[in-house]
Structure 1
Amino acid sequence: MNAEQLLDAITPEVYERLTYAVETGRWPEGTTLSQEQRDSCMQAVMLYQSKHNVEAEHMTVAAGGEISFKSKAELKKQFQEDQQDIMRVNPNEV
């Protein structure tokens, strides 16, 4: 299977499973990955990101294969904007 065939076979659901496996070292069902499996999953995740990741986060592979790095200031700004969407609730007030 070449890289294009692999990319065509990776659905968003498969990508999420691969990402979970790379991050945790386990499949969502709980089965542990070998180091070789984890390495292969990482390569598949990076390949998928290089084609589909148009909003790359800090230290990810963006669309086109570019590695994306965001500065601390950019991340703070992004998180501040995201915080505005969160409704704060004081549990002492009813």
Structure 2
Amino acid sequence: MNYQSFDDLIASMTPEVYQNMRRAIELGRWPDGRTLSPEQKALCLQAVIAWESRNLPEEQRTGYMEQACKSQEDADREQPVTIKGPDTLQ
């Protein structure tokens, strides 16, 4: 099959293909035992995330973290971030 874009590929993915890619990422191997290259792993991860964003509710997606620890008041406030340089990390 010839895909015109990454979006075409994602749109044509079945749940079975999605599950196979997820499993391959988790194990580092394809179903036939061949090892995923770093490039294959990165592309599969992109495809899995894109497929999930189209087909799953947010709470079922890879990497979802519930924000249960924050109150609404905390969520509305800005939280400053301090970045320290290598010479200040001692």
Q: How high is the TM-score relative to the length of structure 1?
A: 0.59
Runs of 4+ off more than 3 Å: none
CA separation of 1:72 and 1:8: change in aligned 2, threshold 3 A = same
Q: Does 1:28 align with 2:24?
A: no
Give the equivalent residue in structure 1 for 2:73.
none
Give the equivalent residue in structure 2 for 1:10.
13
Q: Structure 1 stretches of 5 or more lacking a match? A: 62-67, 74-94
For residues 31 and 17 of structure 1, the distance between their equivalents in structure 2, rounded to whole angstroms, comes to 13
For residues 29 and 71 of structure 1, the distance between their equivalents in structure 2, rounded to whole angstroms, comes to 39
Identify, as 1 or 2, the structure richer in strand. Answer: 1
- The amino acid that maps onto 2:31 is P
Larger Rg belongs to:
2
Q: Does 1:70 align with 2:66?
A: yes
User: Quick one: higher RCO (CA 8 Å, sep 6+), 1 or 2?
Assistant: 2
SS state of the match for residue 21, structure 1?
Answer: helix
Q: Structure 2 stretches of 5 or more lacking a match? A: 70-90
Deviations 1:50-93 (A, max 9, x none): 10111634x726xxxxxx312578xxxxxxxxxxxxxxxxxxxx
Q: How high is the TM-score relative to the length of structure 2?
A: 0.62
Q: CA RMSD in A?
A: 2.2
